[in-house]
Amino acid sequence: MISLAGFPSDGDGPIYLRIVRFIRAGVAAGSIADGDEMPSRRVVSATLGVNPNTVQKAYKLLEDEGLMVSRPGAKSYAVVTPESVEAARAKLRAEEIGRVVSALKTSGMEKSEAMELISRLWDEYEVGGDTE
């Protein structure tokens, strides 16, 4: 069964979107595999201290994205394919880049300045978070 260990207790956005992001991240990272059992809506609701309808909203989005399948009265399972992994990664990247763009715009940076900064940092950044 998919564990909620590591679910961020605080974060940006509505809780149902944070649940979706958590599952997407697990799919993208490979910690959630095809056929893994999703925790029940009641378990997620109790564990996170949220309304069951909030969990239902998250699960509906995950179903719409093709990341899980549910049947009334039965358990829900993750659906992980190479296509769903790439789609999850693309959505996570777009969200992160969106946050960066928003911060840069809020700081008053022009697009050309931002592109120069990103280009410079791209070349300096080493995978794992260290810069030269």
Domains and CATH numbers, the chain: 15-83 (1.10.10.10)
For position 9, what pLDDT does the model report?
80
- Across 67-82, average pLDDT: 92
Backbone angles phi, psi at 103, to 5 degrees: -65, -40
State the Cα–Cα distance between residues 60 and 23, nearest whole angstrom: 13
Task: At 17, list the tokens.
Answer: 């979107």
CB-CB neighbours of 2 under 10 Å: 19
pLDDT band at 130 (very low <50, low <70, confident <90, very high): low
Question: Quick one: pLDDT band at residue 90, thresholds 50, 70, 90?
Answer: very high
Residue 44, Cβ density class (10 Å: 0-12 exposed, 13-18 middle, ≥19 buried): buried
Note the pLDDT of residue 73. Answer: 81
Give the predicted TM-score (pTM) of the model: 0.83
Give the pLDDT band (50/70/90) at residue 120: very high
